[in-house]
Amino acid sequence: MAGKKDQNSSAAGQDTVNPEQGGNEKTYRAGDPRAGKEQKTGRGRKPVIIIAAVVLILLIPVCFFAAYVNGYDTIFPNIYVGDLELGGLIQVDHALALVYVFKAV
């Protein structure tokens, strides 16, 4: 029976389970290109999650500030156009001031 394969051995290139290691790890035959390679453990996702969390933490205050500025009716202090100070004026006032200054020029 030299030509027959043993029924317990697997065909060349197939995975075999090593029962001594609890049956969870695969062992490969010599010469198999998969032999010696470790399986990925999902560690590549951890830096992505950390970066996303940092970006989110930095983005939240910016969004709150943008919402605050959007609801702000007056121009912030110390804003000038030429020699004209617009700080503290509302939209109608600064529009009239700009028209007055640039019509005079």
pLDDT in tens, 3-47: 555 455 445 545 555 555 555 566 667 767 666 666 566 567 889
pTM of the model: 0.39
Residue type, 64: F
The most confident of the ranges 36-40, 58-62, 83-87 is 58-62
pLDDT band per the 50, 70, 90 thresholds, residue 90: confident
What is the helix (H) or strand (E) element at residue 66, kind and residue range?
A: helix 45-70
- C-alpha closest to that of 90 among 65, 103, 72, 105: 72
What pLDDT does residue 56 have? 96
Q: Is the pLDDT of residue 80 over 70?
A: yes
Q: Is the pLDDT of residue 51 over 90?
A: yes
Q: In angstroms, rounded to a whole number, what is the distance separating the alpha carbons of residues 71 and 57?
A: 23
DSSP state of 3: S
How remote is the C-alpha of 70 from its chain's centroid? 27
Q: In angstroms, rounded to a whole number, what is the distance separating the alpha carbons of residues 15 and 23?
A: 12
What pLDDT does residue 84 have? 82
What Rg value do the Cα atoms of the chain yield, rounded? 36
